[in-house]
Structure 1
């Protein structure tokens, strides 16, 4: 224990893994379960929305969303998420992590339900309403990123902190999986109830009026897990690091953590004042001192998250088009609208089971053993390899769907056993407590800027290249997209060298918040990146 470290913080760092750790993981993680469900379920229903609202009576073929509408429906939630990450990240450092934690959850509940109740007199009116509510849904989701990460990092012990934060984020995989399963259940139920066969007549006749309920139910289900965890979030005490180091209330911090850890902790008011009076605890986000200590770190966390999310989110939203382009999904005219939802959901659920979910839990198991830096570097490397391996011999995969599925699943496996997890973990560890939530929000917002590039840019580009067969993208469009994503991952590999290793150190060691006035001690311990 450092002579300057508060007893309550040392107790948290040294605590053995206890029940409260797992409780915190579940409470914070269910927010991410909901986040992933809400963000990714939209890709399951975009084809259905096109068939319901944009059917062309003249040609009597299944309708598709116009490119601008498709891009808006898929990407507007990311715009809200970006805004929410910046706003709630800042608010979490100003008002406390807990005070705004419940607000984000209730916003998600209300907007999930409202999205399913979207209304309008015209198709464009329905889509506009849907986009409005999904923007505010994203705004609430955005707040969950910095708050959940910061709360978990400040509750965890230093030995297994990486695994605990990664476990919170790993709930995202279950959320993606749940989206596919809910879509499978709802679509198959409607197929059975209304006797809509898988190979019904093409066009509007294959889209029964009741299909309008399918997408609404799928969207509204996102409110259920968020609502179930609201009570437990409100019962969690504020983190000791916020209470002691920002709110300057060492008595409350000691009292809260005494209950959590079941030990007797004494308030150390004089030590708190001494720590807070040090120069290392006085600089702000836009100061030269912050730029000197953490400027490159913030550049590293923002750039790698931005590049990762271009690849990760565009790949997720692009799945249905890739599956169609390689012939894994039949043309829309050969099946009913609800059965098309079923086929898309089945494909995405298989990808989630094979690659997405296992990748998250490999990170949880190994992050505190091999380190954040190594996992992130390895993940970007293999994502680059597999993207190019899919793109360069692209025509080969058209006749080898099983091979394509395996390779495509591996890109998701190494995204999650790689930068998709570590970009979430590291910003919650390497910045000072008074700026931790803000800096995590900035890093996450950079990621969502990448998601916007992926959803608006790649999705629009793919739908702009149409074949005569109902607007599906040309193979060359998919190939070029995969090539660009491979190059993006390669850049992520290079920018990873700006990201420090934080394995096995206390948060105060990493940020230098225990430093005294001695100028020689003011270089933080995360300035060195491990050699590879």
Structure 2
């Protein structure tokens, strides 16, 4: 196919193998992110007993990586808009690999916290780069689906954790060795994508519009897509003015959008991570006499039966339903499920009713804000500040996750599980309301949305 600009060519390109290749490269890194973030919940059940940790220290260990995610997302998100996506893409995967290996060899709780922090820097950096690279390769019609497929790799990471935990616990090996293997295995998927990321070309939209290397971008795009996307460029300069960081943070429309993407993601991650990472501990509270294997099995059942279908359905339907609309639906139903768990008497001591409601909350988390917050932050901003804005949104979200994970055992001890779920409902309700400030990007060109978002004061620039 022949088009007059790289953006138009990518917007109109039919789904092809090059989309799948970009999705797998981005998605494997995100599988690693999910596994590393959530496996600590299973490992902490063992570590808590071995090292005799207090509830506060359990919260610190579980949330340290999330605090590092905040810094990693901000730092690497900004650098990716300055240096380019490709230069940092292999680096964040390397950090994740090294961090996972180091955690497995932690001699004490303090080294474990330090290594989990280092790991978290890489995970945080992977969020904006993976999301934005996929959005910049995607076409208009399937952008939500493609970026959602990257994020849906989290589903595999979610179920891989309990499966690994159950296998290790059933094998009869010592608990000390079991949790170390759980954490160390996170290095394998990250190692598998380092080479592929280094060979992947720079994002064509970024290379053409920000770096001004239109001819090189067009040539690399033709090679990467095996000629499926062809471009005829008459002018190597960007056709529209670019937005720098100063203009971004002083643009009222951009700040309102940032409030919407960062705010809703913050509210969601407080609710989601506080529960997800603490799921093994929640199961022990609901069924205190259950064995570790039983608790992990219930965790796996919830993830497999509720979370995975939620991810799958969101990928299939998001572009038809609308990205913003799906977030509204997910927040609302997820919040109602948490409200039911909080107000129905005795539900947190009845395994089956609890698992049904907990599963509903998980399904609509995935078929809703867990997927859409990731996607919206990757498509609502101009290319020159896209990873910066996504990094800010993801970073602030991880502060919400940090607070949720850190406070979960504290609030549960003070108010019980039902009190904790009522607070979670309030966060979901706030997320529903804040979503209303965002525009609907489904089936709209990112370039056209960017043009409408810029103020008249933005001036042209080429390489920054």
TM-score in same-fold range (> 0.5) = yes
CA distance in 2, matches of 1:250, 1:211: 55
2:116 maps to 134
**Is 1:422 the counterpart of 2:372 in the alignment?**
yes
CA distance in 2, matches of 1:345, 1:293: 45
Quote how far apart the aligned CAs of 1:325 are.
Answer: 2.4
Q: 1:419 to 1:273 in 2, by over 3 A?
A: same
2:34 to 36, 42, 46: 36
Equivalent residues in 2 for 1:236-315 (5 A)?
A: 236-263=200-227, 265=230, 268=233, 270=235, 272-273=236-237, 275-276=239-240, 278=241, 281=242, 283-287=243-247, 290-315=250-275
Q: 1:289 to 1:486 in 2, by over 3 A?
A: closer
Q: 1:521 to 1:215 in 2, by over 3 A?
A: closer
CA distance in 2, matches of 1:461, 1:269: 61
Question: 1:428 aligns to what SS in structure 2?
Answer: coil
Q: 1:396 to 1:130 in 2, by over 3 A?
A: closer
State whether residues 7 and 265 of structure 1, in contact with CA within 8 Å, keep that contact through their aligned partners in structure 2.
no
1:376 maps to 327
**Is 1:494 the counterpart of 2:433 in the alignment?**
yes
Q: 1:36 to 1:27 in 2, by over 3 A?
A: same
Q: 1:100 to 1:500 in 2, by over 3 A?
A: same
State whether residues 4 and 231 of structure 2, in contact with CA within 8 Å, keep that contact through their aligned partners in structure 1.
no
Q: 1:259 to 1:322 in 2, by over 3 A?
A: same
Unaligned runs of 5+ residues in structure 2 are: 460-464
1:169 to 151, 168, 176: 151
2:354 maps to 404
2:72 maps to 84
Deviation sequence 1:160-195 (CA, Å, 0-9, x none): 01100000000001101001111111111126xxxx
**Is 1:95 the counterpart of 2:34 in the alignment?**
no
2:338 maps to 387
Unaligned runs of 5+ residues in structure 1 are: 55-64, 120-125, 192-209, 332-338, 466-475, 523-532
CA distance in 1, matches of 2:444, 2:80: 23
Worse-superposed segment, 182-191 or 481-490: 182-191
Q: 1:480 to 1:6 in 2, by over 3 A?
A: farther
CA distance in 2, matches of 1:301, 1:367: 17
Deviation sequence 1:85-134 (CA, Å, 0-9, x none): 00000011011101100000000001100000001xxxxxx010000000
Q: In the comparison of the two structures, how many residue pairs are matched?
A: 457
2:311 to 343, 360, 367: 360
Deviation sequence 1:354-412 (CA, Å, 0-9, x none): 111111111100011010111000001001111111110141452x3212101101101
**Is 1:505 the counterpart of 2:444 in the alignment?**
yes
1:330 maps to 289
CA distance in 2, matches of 1:151, 1:504: 18
State whether residues 508 and 514 of structure 1, in contact with CA within 8 Å, keep that contact through their aligned partners in structure 2.
no
Q: 1:317 to 1:82 in 2, by over 3 A?
A: same
1:477 to 394, 416, 420: 416
CA distance in 1, matches of 2:100, 2:249: 42
1:47 maps to 45
**Is 1:106 the counterpart of 2:86 in the alignment?**
no
Query: What is the TM-score with the length of structure 2 in the denominator?
Result: 0.94
Query: What is the TM-score with the length of structure 1 in the denominator?
Result: 0.82
State whether residues 284 and 290 of structure 1, in contact with CA within 8 Å, keep that contact through their aligned partners in structure 2.
no
CA distance in 2, matches of 1:326, 1:458: 15
CA distance in 1, matches of 2:262, 2:48: 35
2:193 maps to 229
Deviation sequence 1:406-437 (CA, Å, 0-9, x none): 11011010001000100000111110101000
State whether residues 248 and 385 of structure 2, in contact with CA within 8 Å, keep that contact through their aligned partners in structure 1.
no
State whether residues 250 and 267 of structure 1, in contact with CA within 8 Å, keep that contact through their aligned partners in structure 2.
no
Supply the RMSD in Å over aligned alpha carbons. 2.2
CA distance in 2, matches of 1:288, 1:499: 17
